[in-house]
Amino acid sequence: MKIAFIGLGNMGGGMAANLVKAGHQVNAFDLAEQARGAAKDAGCEVFHDLKEAVQGVEAVVSMLPNGGIVKAVYENDVVGHAPAGAILLDCSTIDVATAKEVTEAATKAGYEMVDAPVSGGIAAANGGTLTFMVGGTESAFARAEPILQGMGKAVIRAGDAGAGQTAKICNNMLLAVHMIGTCEAMKMAEKLGLDPQKFYEISSQSSGSNWSLNTYTPLPGVGVQSPADNEYQGGFATALMLKDLRLAMEAAENSDSAVPLSSRAASLYEDYSGAGNGALDFSSIIKTY
């Protein structure tokens, strides 16, 4: 297929490259020259004008920082400029209301669209092993699925428009709680004299087992290889976790949901990111213990 890819940052760059590897022709657009250069090296055709990038394509994929940018890009540069038969896929993590609004506007203009945020971080984006949680009609999902499969290991329809974003913010809210709990337990075990590696070996096979411990161990030199072993570089930035938690807290308030543990996790990440740690991997919050 001929696909326009908008947003070639830490996540989008690898995703666009994997679409090329899957055999697609990719028109790549980003405001940053360095990102465009990397996309060109990966086999994409690079564009400096977004409206030109979406001309004649069969699909548009976007990976953008926030809901305001997503809305502006689709309103100003995609809808009415991409062919009416193109399928639109927004893989950004944004608020549910904006996802629904953008999809509704695109649908009224004759397009099919899905919200398809991802889980897996930079390594999975580069490796093509992302998990996509997708919101949209069954028809739109059927068209989007083969495109997403070129970038991920799992593509799951969560429901109608906005359901993908709901799944993403709830999932990452749970992840934040798990990571903080894992950090607290590992450091407490260490202070009580237990070898951290032994704690990992025991808990990872016991009732305390969870993804943050087993697959993303936050303590350097313990468990599996993770950003902790690279001075917390790469992975999933604390600032991005905080962004997702803010979206989750907004959604919790709007839905009158009780989230006391997640609210505390959001507060801890707010303080930690605000202390200058936003660029470090979110597992680095273990430093506060």
Tell me the catalytic residues: 168
The CA R_g of the chain, rounded to the nearest whole Å, is 20
Number of Cβ atoms within 10 Å of the Cβ of 191: 9
Q: Which two tokens stand for residue 212?
A: 């943050």
User: Within 13 Å and on the Cβ side, how many CA atoms surround 272?
Assistant: 26
Number of Cβ atoms within 10 Å of the Cβ of 278: 17
Instruction: Name the residue among 14, 9, 10 with its Cα closest to residue 30.
Output: 9
- Name all contacts of 40-46 with Cβ < 8 Å and 24+ positions apart: 42/13, 42/16, 42/17, 43/17, 44/5, 44/16, 44/17, 44/20
| Residues in the chain, overall count | 289
